Amino acid sequence: MRAIRREGLLLDPQRLFEAALIEVAGELSLDEAPAESDVWLTERVRRALRRVRNRDAQWVQRAGGSETDVGPGAFLVEAFRVPESEAAEAALRFHELEQRTRRIFLALTVDGWSLARTSERFGGDARELADAVWEGMHALGLATEEERDRILDDLLRIDSQRGNRP
């Protein structure tokens, strides 16, 4: 969903979709459909997003949920190979990063943008953008402080080998 991308979050879209359905259905059962439906719906999705993130934080504080609950970082196990035992906390750490950092991370790692294209969209030089990727990897538990310089250099080298194509 666009709300996930706009915020630069690593959330399972299905979880947000289900929470948004609950928000929408609950309010529509009380009132008639609003005249400004786009604005109204956007606000319900934002509320659902806040609720999902609050639930995720509670999950980590309680060290899990019931047997049928799916943890907040469950999809990170498959998508980023984050160890299952660390996925929920990794998701929360990632979401605590600045929005711009999260969006740069997603643009460069998930969307495969070049540093040039990412710089055009978000500003910053190549080193700053590569650093945002490292911050995302570190938050997800995929990189250590000791690996920082090597990872940053690798990202810059890979991008230059790609010819900095958009």
Distance separating alpha carbons of residues 43 and 109, to the nearest angstrom? 29
The DSSP 8-state label assigned to residue 158 in this structure reads: H
Exposure letters 35-68 (e unless 16+ CB within 10 A, then b): eeeeeeeeebbebbbeebbeebbebbeeeeeeee
Q: What is the pLDDT of residue 45?
A: 84
Q: What are phi and psi of 120, to 5 degrees?
A: -60, -40
Please name the amino acid found at residue 59.
Answer: W
For 34-38, 86-90, 143-147, which range has the lowest pLDDT when averaged over its residues? 34-38
Phi, psi (degrees; rounded to nearest 5) at 69: -70, 145
Domain boundaries, the chain: 97-166
What is the C-alpha to C-alpha distance for residues 132 and 48, in angstroms, rounded to an integer? 27
CB 59 within 8 A of CB 71: yes
* DSSP assignment letter at 164: T
- pTM for this predicted structure: 0.75
| Confidence at residue 67, expressed as pLDDT on a 0 to 100 scale | 47
Q: In sequence order, what DSSP letters do the residues of 32-61 get, joined into one string? A: PPPSSHHHHHHHHHHHHHHHHHHHHHHHHH
130: nearest Cα among 114, 111, 146:
114
Most confident of the following: 22-36, 68-82, 148-162: 148-162
pLDDT given for residue 33 in this prediction: 65
Instruction: Return the minimum-mean-pLDDT range out of 41-50, 61-70, 74-83.
Output: 61-70
